[in-house]
Amino acid sequence: MSRQRSLEKIAVSEYVTIGELVRLTGSRYSTLKFYTEEGMLPFEQEEENLTRRFPREKTVARITEIQELKRRGYSIPEIKKRLQQV
């Protein structure tokens, strides 16, 4: 049996993992990891070695915003600047 949560469960969860964000947004894992490391995605982490938990609604909205800005031709540094202004 798979340990993965169903999309129905993920879709109503307050917090999700990066792997679940991949499933929710269709983004690549490496892309989301990069955004996280660049400080573009909000997350909580209890301790250094524990899984990062992302607030689902806020993070999905942020990923959508980043994708839209990329579509409009903004570079990552430009996107980061815009996100910090919000």
Number of domains into which the chain is organized: 1
Q: What is the pLDDT along the chain (86 residues), one digit of tens a residue?
A: 557 889 899 989 999 999 999 999 999 999 999 999 999 998 998 887 788 999 999 999 999 999 999 999 999 999 999 998 86
Residue 30 placed within a domain: yes
Residue 2 placed within a domain: no
Residue 36 placed within a domain: yes
Residue 1 placed within a domain: no
Asked whether the beta carbons of 63 and 21 are under 8 A apart, the reply is yes
Give the Cα separation of 31 and 18 in Å (integer): 10
Which residue range is the domain that position 46 belongs to? 7-85
Question: What does pLDDT average to over the chain?
Answer: 92
CATH, residue 63: 1.10.1660.10
Give me the half-sphere count of Cα atoms (radius 13 Å) on the Cβ side of residue 16.
25
